[in-house]
Each structure stands twice: as C-alpha cells, then as structure tokens.
Chain A
C-alpha cells in the first residue's frame, strides 16, 4: 500500500527531503535534548565534580562507575526495580483486562462506575503516596488498621514490614485505571457477531474470553505495556515521599539509589554515572520488550 505513494512522480529523493523537513523539528529538538543534557551527563560521569567540594576537579576515568558498580546496593536496587516494574505491569494488565471485561457488561449506573474506577490515574503520584501511607495503611490512624481491629485481625504495618509491596500497591493503584481505560476501549471494538457465533457453538464464557477476547486485546496490551514500562522504570516520587527507600534498601529502586548515593552527596559525577547505568538497563529492557511489542504493532 505504501509503494503506491512512493512511486508517484515526486520520487524518492523528494520524499527523502520532505521527510527531513517534516521530521526535522522533532528530530532536531530531541537530538538537542539528547545531545546536550545527555552529552553533559556522559561528560560529567567521567569527571570528578562534586558541588560540595568545589576545589576537586579533573578527569575521573571510570572511578564514578566503579564506585557505583561495586556497591552491593546497586544490585539490590536493580532487582527491586525489575520487581516493581514486573509486579505493577502484571497487576495492571491482568486487573485491567478482567475489569475491562466486567465493565463492558451492561449494568446499572455503568457510566458513573467507570468514572470512579479510572479516577486514580489523574491523582498526583506524591498525593496518592501520602494518602496511602498516612490515611489508609497507617498502623495507628489508618483505615486498614481500623478494619483489621474491627475484624479481630492483627494490624499490619505495611510500610515497615512490606515496604516494596506497599509501594507496588500504590503505583499499581495509580496505573491500573490507565490500563483499564485503554483495554476497555479495545474491547468495545470487539465484533459482537463473532462472540454470538461462538456462543451458538456452545462455547462457555471462559472459552470465549480465552480464545476470542484475549487475542483481540493483544495489541492494546502491547501499548499498555510499552507506555507503563517507560514510566515505571523511573518511579521516584512515591518512594521519596514515603519510605525513603527503606527500611534498609527494601524499597530502593535504581532511580532512588542514584539519589541517595549521588544526589544527596551532591556528587554530580556519580549521579551522572548512575544516570548512564540507568539508561543502559532501561535500553536492555526496552529492546527486549520492543521486540515483542513492535511485532504486534506491525500486524
């Protein structure tokens, strides 16, 4: 289909030139955005540059990288990052899919119920973290604690005993509505006739879900995974505002690790090295995911 466009008299050369002109601004801006701050970051990562020690300067070689990579906490942070990203993706995609099926059905007050269930996505991450920590999960004042006492169950100290889990809950609460929104839309374009035909053939609801609905949603799920992954890899605000990465290192992810090891020290060199390491990790994850996603996008 594309070939008919290219074979016009305009020819390939003009198409190429037009490409440059059209894509130009976006690409140029992003190039600047990449080259200048990213370039500065890479440059700083090889320098000794600490804001609090203005007299120290000079080429640092691999020192900053060495400092970070030999830190046992780095691996914990990376592991936590992958755990966080994986868990939230799983919760939001699975939860989102099931809820999309549910909210697709006819029931009373469907419109309003939908509004309620997508609301969390619009709340600022810092605000949602604070609400969860102080009003919901707090072991003395929180609603959960009150419920537990009412039911005679032991009170769980969420953020102390299960810090990463608590963060996962907060972040998943924020992102599942996003997944739901996109998946709900996709389900609405599902061909009713197909479903009817399957039902006439005697297929039960679970079979319909597995063999018809799910494949139809494959592309939507890919979109959700792509977008969410980008944001989940750099979760920072929720951790900063609640657990400060702890207790110990239990809820420190890569972004927060860079913060405590470098930014708190105002060690620009180390922070920059950390940024570069984060990009490398993210790219590895991205290449892996994009291979799967891009295939779906092209179909």
Chain B
C-alpha cells in the first residue's frame, strides 16, 4: 500500500472516530426512543426489541403537529421579518458609511447582552397589555428583535465584500437605489443572505425561554412540547427520547440539507 493510501486510511479512521464520538449522544437518544421505559434505564445495550410505545405515548398525549407548525411559522416568520428590516440597514451601513456606523453596529450588538431573565417581567407586562400573550405574532416580534442585531451585522459583512465597481457600473447605467438593491446586490449576496437566514431560523427554533413564558396552548412551539416531557414522575427517559427526537428531527434535517448552502454563503462573507 502506498503511503498516501495509508495516510488516507489513518485520516479516515481518525476523522470518523471523532465524528462518531461527537454524534453519539444524539444517536443514543434516538435509539432510546425505541426502547421501553424499563429497558431505557437498564445497562446500556444496543440489543433490544424495538418498540413504538414511547412514540405512541408522546403523540397521543400532545398534539405534535400543532407544536411543529407553530415552530415553523414562528421561526420562518421572524426570520423573514428580520431580513426585510435588516437588508436596508445593512445596505446603508456598508455602502454609505458615516462616522457613526461602527458605533451603531456595536450598540446593536450590545442590546443582545441583556439576559432574558432580567427582562422577563417588563416584556410579560407589555405583551399582556398589547394582547400579544400566547399569539404567534407576539413571539415573531420578540424573536425578530432578538435576532436583528446578528442579522444586520452578518449582512453588513457580506455586503462589504461586494466589489463596489459592479454597483458603480449599475448606477452609471441609470439604475436607482431600489433597482440597484434588488437586481444587483441581492443576487450577488444571496448565499450570504441565505446563510444568515438559516442561522436565524435555527436560533429561533431552539429558543426556549420566551417561548415557554409567553405562550400557553395556541402559539406554543416545540420547545414547550419538550418541556412537558422532562422529569415527570416515574420512568420517562424513553418517552423523553422519543419526544426529543420528534422535536429536533425537523430542524436537524433542515440544517443538514442546507448546511452546504450555509458553508458556501459564509465563504463569500466574513470569513474570506
């Protein structure tokens, strides 16, 4: 065997070894979802009779589809809204910079530093007064505000890397700002916008604090679904595993399918 094949084999072993170790907890969780409760706490084994009892119990008890639909609407809704607001802002910061630009950016980021626990009451009171408790609209607005700083900042760095000459050329041809943005800028930076959007979707999907506190039943997303399965009385690990698998499956698949896009997108942007 020539040295390069040996090297490749060794690399394969090493890389796969690490990948398996890192992925193992997720794998274990999915497997446990197919065990009975008693098996779930017995010494770890991969040999067992798979059963759907856990999944059945979970789906029977809670309306999975309602939660999943809420998660989808809220995550994508807030991301779209954030992008709509952020694109103009990032545009002006990248192409019409002033002395204040950097300060504004940093100030935006600093709004994310406030831990949600400290601001729970004011937000709850506000939501109550605006009639936004347990509504998807309420959560969409909160998540949009939460993600806006990061979305603006990432778009800013993508836009900054667009060669100015292309836009110049467009303007020479008589294009106005709006056309400039829609027909020139967006297509060029689409991968960057997509990856920013993906990141925002993932962050909204996994957000557990506001979703637990501001919803009850109508607008409750999957994070609430999980909360009802953690630590009840008696044995629950098989059910919890089943519920968790159901809760993360959509976003995991979505992330996997689009990670190529994300990686490609980031190449154009901040990480050149």
Contact = CB atoms under 8 A, between A and B. Distances in A.
Do A and B interact directly, with beta carbons closer than 8 Å? yes
Interface of A: 1-2, 4-6, 8, 15-16, 18-19, 21-27, 29-30, 33-34, 36-38, 40-41, 44, 51, 99, 102-103, 105-110, 113-128, 130-132, 134-136, 141-143, 146, 173, 176-177, 181-182, 184-186, 188-189, 219-220, 223, 226-227, 230, 233-234, 236-237, 241, 254-256, 258-259, 263, 268, 271-272, 274-276, 278-279, 282-283, 286, 290, 294, 297
B271 A258 contact: no
Given A30-B145, A132-B25, A230 B113 contact: yes
Contacts of A286: 106, 109-110, 113
A115 B102 contact: no
**Chain B, interface SS category:** helix
Contacts, number: 289
B59 interface: no
Interface in B105-139: 106, 108-123, 125-126
A174 B21 CA distance: 13
B126 A37 contact: yes
Given A36-B126, A219-B270, A258-B117, 16 more contacts: A2-B97, A18-B92, A22-B96, A26-B85, A26-B152, A41-B122, A106-B11, A122-B202, A122-B252, A143-B28, A146-B43, A181-B266, A219-B272, A234-B116, A286-B113, A290-B106
Top 6 A-B pairs ranked by shortest CB distance?
A275-B118, A282-B113, A26-B89, A40-B122, A22-B92, A116-B23
B220 interface: no
A5 B149 CA distance: 26
A135 B110 contact: no
B18 A123 contact: no
A282 B113 CA distance: 6
Contacts of A143: 28, 44
Given A30-B145, A127-B244, A255 B15 contact: no
